Amino acid sequence: MRALALVGLLIAVSGCSSLKTSSPEAGSAQAAPPAAAPAPATPPPPSPPPAAPPPVAPAPVTPPPVAPAPVTPPPLAPAPVAAAPAVPASAAPPHAAAAPAKSPAAAHPVKQPGTSAAQSPANPPPPASPAAPAPAPAPPAAATASTLNLADLEQRLRETRAIGVFTKLSLKNQVDDLLKAFRALYRDPNKRPSAELRQRYDGLLLKVLSLLQDGDPPLAAAIASSREAIWGILADPEKFAKMDT
């Protein structure tokens, strides 16, 4: 009987204690139970880590596939190399640069499918290499797009606020002087512009560019890209006569 009573008492006490423990926790804060839950949850992670190591081992196994990916980059490198020889062949720097850039870009899309299927770490390097060539081709394209529009350039020069009125007038004087020299030269139809005229032209263009480069960079770039085209007109008596009329 006493034993039964003791057992009953123990059960009652244990039950009360369990109730007490649970109730204080719930009473203090409901966050406590979640805290208790995380605690048990943490133990499981330790067990996964052991499981993780095996995946780590597989990861090293994946590196071999990664190695193949670097193998694919070499093909990319060879492609640019092939483009490089093509450049000298064409002997046209801007166009050649644009063409090779375009071809690598095409090669990259081809790569991306393969790399995407393979590993993400392998992907980063290839995108980096394509990103570098991509910007390079863009400027040449813009340069070619803005070939030569003398009227537009003249209008932009008139309207730009990067050059003051006195400076603009002074520049106009010098341009007029240069055009006068060309007119005088072409009175004789068989004459060709001398190196001195080319030097004057280059000097004048440099003055314009130096005045514009800080205040109106787009216009400076447009003029710089049109440099040879403008000289092409000045140096050709027929084109010059057409422009001068």
Partner 1 sequence: MAQRIFTLTLAAVLLMGARLVAADDSLGKDLKATIALQGMPCDQLIASKRNGDSDYTATCKDGNRYHIFVNPQGRVIVQKM
What is the nearest approach in angstroms of partner 1 to the Cβ of residue 152? 23
Question: Contact, 124 vs 118, CB < 8 A?
Answer: no
What is the nearest approach in angstroms of partner 1 to the Cβ of residue 109? 49
* Amino acid in position 155: Q
Dihedral over alpha carbons 107, 108, 114, 115 (to 10 degrees): 150
What is the nearest approach in angstroms of partner 1 to the Cβ of residue 168? 9
Residue 92 per-residue DSSP state: -
CB atoms within 10 A of CB 127: 14
* Beta carbon nearer to partner 1, 103 or 174: 174
Left (φ > 0), alpha (ψ -120 to 50) or beta: where does 160 sit?
Answer: beta
What is the nearest approach in angstroms of partner 1 to the Cβ of residue 210? 9
Q: Which residues of the shown chain bind partner 1 in the complex (CB under 8 A)?
A: 163-167, 169-171, 173-174, 207, 211
What is the nearest approach in angstroms of partner 1 to the Cβ of residue 171? 7
* Beta carbon nearer to partner 1, 119 or 174: 174
CB atoms within 10 A of CB 143: 16
* Beta carbon nearer to partner 1, 72 or 174: 174
* Beta carbon nearer to partner 1, 112 or 213: 213
List helix spans (H) across the chain: 2-28, 32-36, 38-41, 48-51, 53-56, 58-61, 63-66, 68-71, 73-76, 78-90, 93-117, 125-131, 138-145, 150-159, 165-185, 195-215, 217-225, 227-235, 237-244
What is the nearest approach in angstroms of partner 1 to the Cβ of residue 172? 8
What is the nearest approach in angstroms of partner 1 to the Cβ of residue 164? 3
DSSP result, 104-133: HHHHHHHHHHHHHHS-TTTSSHHHHHHHTT
The helix-helix angle for 237-244 and 227-235 (nearest 10°) equals: 100
The residue with tokens 């190591």 is 53
